[in-house]
Amino acid sequence: MERLSLEGRTALVTGAGAGIGSACAQLLGQRGARIALIDRDENNLKTASATLENEGIAVAARVCGVIGQRDATRAAFQAAADQAGIIDIVVNNAGIYLRTPMEEIDDEEWDRIFDVNVRGLYHLSIAAAQHMKGKGWGRIVNIASVDGFLPFPGMAHYAASKAAVISLTKTFGMAYLADNIVVNGVAPGAIDTEPMRIGNHIARLAETAIPMGRGGEPHEMAEAVAFLASDAASYFVGETIVASGGLAFR
């Protein structure tokens, strides 16, 4: 358990106001980390922060910011770092999930998906790595998706963006290993979050495509993230853990 402990660390979670991001912030805090939160929704941010504080988890920073374009993304990271003093762990969870048939995807929707899911992750990771350099220890955990490994014509742009996240995880892993900034990822399957409940999507997948017969829970993804953020993941670099209830192997 000692190698899983995050005592003395500060963890920044983007998209922390709900779903997987909220679960990650909670578990990392329970493992001993101070928590810095970034979310675009001020109300969700306040609720998540209050929940953590009510559990006795230290909230080191709270930033209402948009992850995407370079300047806005780096400003959000810097605001969190200024409030917290130091960021040791980053969880790149902010993302947009849309289901649109391939032939109906327009340029605006394509750009919207890639702006947050890829460009924002890239710029936040660069800012984090620059901040962590010279400190002797750092962890970046990217939230990808099983969709990055499988063909999904109903959301080709989302799947392509998550394939890019998997690729960037490998590249960042190699680029910063010498600085002991270790970069890995988690690829969730169908997780029981609000976007997945639209149109009863998760229930249909559980019935027809997931060998375990159910969707995953956000806290189950948080367990994988917390592992990769700790010293216990001592032989992982540039790798993406798939947690899909068997969906990845259908």
pLDDT-above-70 percentage for the chain: 99
Domain ranges of the chain: 2-249
Based on the residue annotation, tell me whether 158 is a catalytic residue of this protein. yes
Read off the pLDDT of residues 176-230 as tens digits, 9 standing for 90 and up: 999 999 999 999 998 888 877 877 888 888 888 889 999 889 999 999 999 999 9
Residue located via tokens 């998997």: 166
Give the distance from CA 66 to its chain's centroid. Answer: 14
Among the listed residues 97, 158, 176, 235, the single catalytic one is 158
Helix (H) or strand (E) holding 63: strand 59-64
What is the predicted pLDDT for the residue at 203? 86
Read off the pLDDT of residues 126-174 as tens digits, 9 standing for 90 and up: 999 999 999 999 999 999 999 999 988 999 999 999 999 999 999 999 9
Q: What is the pTM of this model?
A: 0.96
CB within 8 Å of 204: residues ≥ 6 apart: none
- Going by C-alpha positions, the residue among 115, 172, 188 that lies closest to residue 140 is 172
Mean pLDDT across the chain, nearest whole number? 95
Homologous superfamily (CATH) for 2-249: NAD(P)-binding Rossmann-like Domain (3.40.50.720)
Strand 59-64 relative to strand 34-39: parallel, antiparallel, unpaired?
Answer: parallel
* Residue 35, strand partner residues: 11, 59
pLDDT band at 1 (very low <50, low <70, confident <90, very high): low
In this predicted model, which residue has the larger pLDDT, 52 or 195?
52
- CA 54 to CA 62: how far, in whole Å? 15
